[in-house]
Structure 1
């Protein structure tokens, strides 16, 4: 898919999934600009960087206003630490919701003028956590559920000028996977729970984002594309099998 001549902004695209997305768009020929508070630790060939505090609405508006054009916005910034609800004040959880829901809303609204002029698109980076219980990351799951709803409404309000879609992402093997899943043996054990037998690579998410932003997806808007390797094997099946064997 050739995206030559198009300008793409990836929020929070300095590492992990975001870096994979930035690389994929660069390989597709797009001019890529990554924005985050800190520069990437590893250079991203073909991608520029601008320091922006995405929690600061005024800074976000100034950033997009200064762009000469914009064809694609990828709202990738997000994440959350493991934090059970009762072990922190509500204000801490609200910060997670702000980062994962309010920040993408702020960026999208700030980018709207450029996107409308270019008849461009927005790609939200959602999560399977938005569609299932997420103990320990409940605020994150709630925000990602809200992000999908926001994208569907945005797709209707901004049609036909701007397409808006969501990638619903499953487990991804990044440079920080060990913080979530443990050592290599633990990562392999987790991977066996995925029907396709492995965790996603950031490049898998990047290619899916390029597809949604490309002309190949010209009639796709308001959609949620599952990129999760087939999901998760239902726990009751394993429980039933174990009971039969015993």
Structure 2
């Protein structure tokens, strides 16, 4: 899964999952360009940072036009605060859709010609929130569901020149995990709900992204790879009164 000489762009690649992805690509030998509105607090070895507001279509087009080559695009930038639907108006929820669905579409279209010339690869960073109800982050879940479907359509339209796949990511331990899961006890309790017994590390997501971008996945396009530690244990198993065999 070596990527020597390849140019990989990782959006939002300055912290959390994005930083883990950037490190994994750098370790695989790629020349990594990260972009976000603000620079990383800690420099990432083997990466180059360029400022970019992904919600500005003109800036996105200029960003990719300035790159002589793009072999891999990882659409990682995104996220949402916890917000129930009735706690904000539609315009506020639309901003979540803009960042998590429209921005990846804008970036991928802007990079398309360079990706086509390189017979490159796009990796969308999706979420389990797009495959199940997502209370408190409904707009985010809807955007991630749309992103996965968008990737499948891109894969068909752009084959055989550009491969497009999605990582369906579960819970990840990052510097902001406590905002979603609580402190040490909360993180431990949440980790126990995962069949593998832990949250993902950002580098776990990066390693999966490297695989999809590499020649090891040369015949994989339009696919969704679940990276969630086995997913969520079905609630009925714990609610059932049937004795559980050990």
Determine if the TM-score, normalized by the shorter chain, exceeds 0.5. Answer: yes
For residues 107-141 of structure 1, the C-alpha deviation after alignment (integer angstroms, 9 at most, x for no partner) is 00000000000000000000000000000000000
Aligned to 2:217: 217
Aligned to 1:118: 118
How many pairs align? Answer: 244
1:156-167 aligned at under 5 Å gives the runs 156-167=156-167
For residues 156-197 of structure 1, the C-alpha deviation after alignment (integer angstroms, 9 at most, x for no partner) is 001000000000000000011111101111101000000000
Q: Secondary structure at the match of 1:145?
A: helix
Runs of 4 or more, structure 1, over 2 Å off, are none
Q: Once the 2 structures are TM-superposed, how far is the Cα of residue 36 of structure 1 from its aligned partner?
A: 0.5
Aligned to 1:177: 177
Q: Are residues 1:199 and 2:195 paired? A: no
Aligned to 2:71: 71
RMSD over aligned CA atoms reads 1.0
1:30-49 aligned at under 5 Å gives the runs 30-49=30-49
Q: Secondary structure at the match of 1:54?
A: coil
Aligned to 2:231: 231
**In 2: Cα distance, 1:124 partner to 1:238 partner:** 34
Aligned to 2:82: 82
Q: Once the 2 structures are TM-superposed, how far is the Cα of residue 244 of structure 1 from its aligned partner?
A: 6.0
> What is the TM-score of this pair, normalised by structure 1?
0.98
Aligned to 1:56: 56
Q: Secondary structure at the match of 1:188?
A: helix
**In 2: Cα distance, 1:77 partner to 1:11 partner:** 5
Q: Secondary structure at the match of 2:49?
A: strand
Query: Structure 1: which 5+ residue stretches go unaligned?
Result: none
Q: Secondary structure at the match of 1:64?
A: helix
**In 1: Cα distance, 2:178 partner to 2:86 partner:** 25
**In 2: Cα distance, 1:185 partner to 1:89 partner:** 34
**In 2: Cα distance, 1:5 partner to 1:195 partner:** 37
**In 2: Cα distance, 1:121 partner to 1:23 partner:** 18
Aligned to 2:133: 133
Query: Structure 2: which 5+ residue stretches go unaligned?
Result: none
